[in-house]
């Protein structure tokens, strides 16, 4: 099993290394998948900064606030 984008983001969030998170959502069936915030242990809040909806993709941008 390879390293996924959500896995890297979770590790960076847990180490408090991110101040912003950008997610591009594309509807595709790729198998099991990974829950994006499933393994998050950091006490953080995400502030939605931007949402751009296009025909086949939704771009999300969040500011990360650690407590």
pLDDT-derived band at 3 (thresholds 50, 70, 90) equals: low
Say if residue 16's pLDDT is above 90.
yes
Paired strand residues for 23: 60
Tell which wins on pLDDT, 43 or 40: 43
SS3 7: helix
User: Residue 61 sits in which domain range?
Assistant: 5-29+41-66
- Edge-to-edge strands of the sheet including 58-66? 20-25, 58-66, 44-53
Say if residue 53's pLDDT is above 50.
yes
In a domain, 24, yes or no: yes
Number of domains in the chain: 1
In a domain, 36, yes or no: no
Say if residue 63's pLDDT is above 70.
yes
pLDDT at 33: 67
Instruction: State the DSSP H helix or E strand holding residue 66, giving kind and residue range, or none if neither.
Output: strand 58-66
pLDDT at 1: 46
Name the average pLDDT for the chain: 85
Burial 7-32 (b: 16+ CB within 10 A, else e): eebbeebeeeebeebeeeeeeeeeee
């Amino acid at each position: 099993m390879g390293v996924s984008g959500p896995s890297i983001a979770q590790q960076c969030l847990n180490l408090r290394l991110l101040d912003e998170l950008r997610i591009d959502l594309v509807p595709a069936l790729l198998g099991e998948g990974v829950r994006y915030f499933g393994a998050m242990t950091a006490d953080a809040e995400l502030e939605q900064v931007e949402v751009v909806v296009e025909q086949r993709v939704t771009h999300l941008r969040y500011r990360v606030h650690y407590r």
